[in-house]
């Protein structure tokens, strides 16, 4: 699965924490009514068929 993911790595708790920190900070103060999918692009790759191939 790692090789076929767009970022070529498994997400970590730190990845989720970084997004959470952003959302809780002032830089996200103008965001409203949106969904953020924090999956490294895997859902988009699977639904579009653009799964990476090993280099």
pLDDT in tens, the chain (55 residues): 777 778 888 899 999 999 999 999 999 999 999 899 998 888 888 888 766 655 5
List, as one string, the DSSP characters of 1-55. -TTTSTTSS---HHHHHHHHHHHHSGGGTT--S-----STTHHHHHHHT------
- Here the CATH number for the domain that contains residue 43 is 1.10.8
Per-residue pLDDT at 19: 95
- Rounded CA-CA distance 45/5 in Å is 7
Host domain of residue 53 = 1-55
In the chain, how many domains are there? 1
State pTM to two decimals: 0.69
The answer to whether 40 touches 11, Cβ cutoff 8 Å, is: yes
């Amino acid at each position: 699965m790692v090789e076929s993911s767009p970022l070529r790595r498994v997400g970590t708790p730190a990845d989720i924490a970084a997004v959470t920190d952003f959302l809780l900070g002032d830089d996200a103060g103008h965001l409203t009514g949106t969904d953020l999918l924090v999956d490294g692009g895997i859902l988009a790759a699977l639904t579009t068929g653009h799964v990476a191939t090993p280099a």
